[in-house]
């Protein structure tokens, strides 16, 4: 059967990238929920690098993933006329002596990773906890909502159709030759989905007002928590929780503050005592093996999910290589 018309459901990182790559060859309609309430992409901290995880090992196809995402980031930036990311690099600060060893090995293995002594870290970010770390020169901080806005514009410019709808079951949508479900944690609400052994992990992120008497952080930081300055540099996003047992998908400020704030004060003592002005939450989806999942689940229906904490690393690479035959 000749494939002509494709429905992509979901406008998080996965859905937007899938719509972009497939729209080169097919007529694509992007079906988006009028509420972004299940979208993890909109609350993502935006960290992109190929050494995700406490051991900082080289992630599977990590460098390719970064390059593929950079390609889409530039498409979104061109469409908006504004850069949707910064590529100044970022600092990972060792949280234990065991992690120090992993970071040293990462720096030995990779030319874009530089080992930093305590003094060098302090020089880069005065006031920081007195621990060593690594500087990831290729590290990128994405502004997720700008990226999403830019990519939507690029899709519209390319002729992709947009439709507002909420899909309730995992079957092909009438009128399309194929349907690709990129619904993130929406999978847990779909009827008729086979058991894919997917698990939800709730993530909450705090927004902290940045004090006038402190210089903005020159780089994003990542340790037991990460710190990312807002574009206007007036606040900082700090996260995140990794909640495997949670009651509901709503913001739970007590849990977020008790997990994040002590780690924030330890990492960057000048902020001791500061309280958040906002808290956002999203649900990550993890698949078996902690790798993303692209699977055909019915004759005309595919699912792309399981991006876990590596959505930015893998959404473009994997959707660019999706085979629907
Ligand atoms: C707090 C937090 C911080 C994070 N930080 C990072 C980070 O720094 N770097 C990184 O790489 N990753 C990070 N992640 C992970 C990353 O956000 C996810 O991997 C990624 O967003 C998943 O993208 P997705 O498109 O699969 O899902 P989502 O972004 O959840 O998108 C799903 C889409 O489907 C739509 N939808 C859902 N159900 C339906 C339905 N029934 N009908 C129609 N539409 C539907 C939603 O509205 C949404 O548009 C973070 C996650 C969280 C929660």
pLDDT number for residue 63: 96
Which two structure tokens, joined as six digits, stand for 144?
């997720």
Mean pLDDT of 151-155: 98
Is the model's pTM score more than 0.95?
yes
Assess whether pLDDT exceeds 90 at residue 3: no
By most ligand atoms within 8 Å of CB, the mutation choice from 92, 204, 307 for ligand 1 is: 307
Mean pLDDT of 203-217: 97
pLDDT number for residue 130: 97
Query: What's phi and psi for 157, nearest 5 deg?
Result: -60, -30
Nearest CA to ligand 1 atom 30: 39
Assess whether pLDDT exceeds 80 at residue 36: no
223 lines ligand 1 (CB under 6 A): no
Assess whether pLDDT exceeds 70 at residue 321: yes
Ligand 1 geometric centre to CA of 102 (Å): 29
Mean pLDDT of 211-229: 97
pLDDT number for residue 171: 80
Render pLDDT for 53-83 as a digit per residue (tens, 0 to 9): 999 999 999 999 999 999 999 999 999 999 9
pLDDT number for residue 325: 73
pLDDT number for residue 324: 80
Rounded mean pLDDT of the chain?
95
Assess whether pLDDT exceeds 90 at residue 318: yes
Nearest CA to ligand 1 atom 51: 44
Ligand 1 geometric centre to CA of 30 (Å): 16
49 lines ligand 1 (CB under 6 A): no
> Which ligand 1 atom lies nearest to the CA of residue 240?
1
Ligand 1 geometric centre to CA of 223 (Å): 22
Render pLDDT for 69-127 as a digit per residue (tens, 0 to 9): 999 999 999 999 999 999 999 999 999 999 999 999 999 999 999 999 999 999 999 99
Assess whether pLDDT exceeds 70 at residue 174: yes
Rounded Cα distance between 314 and 121, Å, is 29
Ligand 1 geometric centre to CA of 285 (Å): 8
Residue with tokens 């690029």: 154
Q: With helix as H, strand as E and coil as C, how does the chain read?
A: CCCCEEEEECCCHHHHHHHHHHCCCCEEEEEECCCCCCCCHHHCCCEECCCCCCCCCCCCCHHHHHHHHHHHHHHHHHHHCCCCEECCCEEEECCCHHHHHHHHHHHHHCCCEEEECHHHHHHHCCCCCCCCEEEECCCEEECHHHHHHHHHHHHHHHCCEEEECCCCECCCCCCCCEEEECCHHHHHHCECCCCCCCEEEEEEEEEEECCCCCCCCCCEEECCCEEEECCCCCEEEEECCCECCCCCCCCCHHHHHHHHHHHHHHHCHHHCCCCCCEEEEEEEEECHHHCCEEEEEECCEEEEECECCCHHHHHHHHHHCCCCC
Q: Give me the residue spans of the domains in the chain.
A: 5-45+63-81+143-198+287-320, 199-286
Fold of 199-286: D-Amino Acid Oxidase; Chain A, domain 2 (3.30.9)
- Residue 67, CA atoms < 13 Å, CB-side half-sphere: 4
pLDDT number for residue 38: 61
Query: How much of the chain exceeds pLDDT 90, in percent?
Result: 91
Render pLDDT for 257-282 as a digit per residue (tens, 0 to 9): 999 999 999 999 999 999 999 999 99
The answer to whether 28 touches 19, Cβ cutoff 8 Å, is: yes
CATH number corresponding to 5-45+63-81+143-198+287-320 = 3.40.50.720
Residue 170 confidence class, pLDDT cut points 50, 70, 90: confident
Residue with tokens 């970064």: 66
pLDDT number for residue 25: 93
């Amino acid at each position: 059967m000749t494939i002509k018309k494709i429905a992509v459901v979901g406008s998080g990182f996965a859905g937007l990238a899938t719509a972009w790559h497939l729209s080169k060859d097919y007529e694509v309609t992007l079906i988006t929920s009028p509420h972004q309430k299940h979208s993890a992409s909109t609350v993502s901290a935006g960290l992109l690098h190929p050494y995700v995880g406490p051991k900082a090992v080289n992630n599977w196809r990590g460098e390719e993933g970064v390059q593929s995402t950079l390609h889409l980031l530039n498409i979104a930036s061109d469409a908006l006329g504004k850069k949707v990311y910064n590529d100044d690099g970022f600092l990972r600060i060792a949280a234990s002596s065991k992690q120090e060893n992993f970071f040293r090995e990462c720096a030995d293995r990779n030319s874009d990773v530089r080992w930093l002594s305590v003094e060098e870290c302090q020089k880069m970010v005065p006031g920081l906890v007195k621990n060593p770390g690594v500087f990831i020169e290729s590290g990128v901080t994405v502004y997720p909502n700008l990226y999403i806005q830019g990519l939507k514009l690029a899709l519209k410019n390319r002729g992709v159709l947009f439709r507002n709808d909420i899909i309730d079951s995992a079957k092909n949508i009438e009128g399309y030759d194929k349907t690709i479900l990129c619904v993130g944690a929406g999978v847990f609400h779909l009827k008729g989905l086979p058991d894919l052994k997917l698990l939800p992990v709730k993530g909450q992120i705090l927004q902290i007002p940045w004090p006038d008497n402190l210089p903005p952080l020159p780089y994003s930081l990542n340790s037991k928590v990460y710190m990312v300055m807002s574009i206007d540099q007036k606040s900082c996003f700090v996260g995140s929780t990794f909640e495997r047992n949670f009651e509901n998908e709503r913001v739970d400020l007590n849990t977020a503050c008790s997990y994040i704030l002590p780690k924030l004060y330890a990492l960057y003592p000048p902020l001791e005592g500061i309280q958040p002005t906002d808290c956002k939450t999203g649900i990550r989806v993890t698949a078996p093996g902690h790798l993303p999942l692209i699977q055909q689940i019915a004759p005309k229906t595919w699912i792309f999910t399981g991006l876990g904490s590596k959505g930015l690393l893998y959404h473009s690479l994997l959707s660019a290589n999706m085979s629907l035959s």
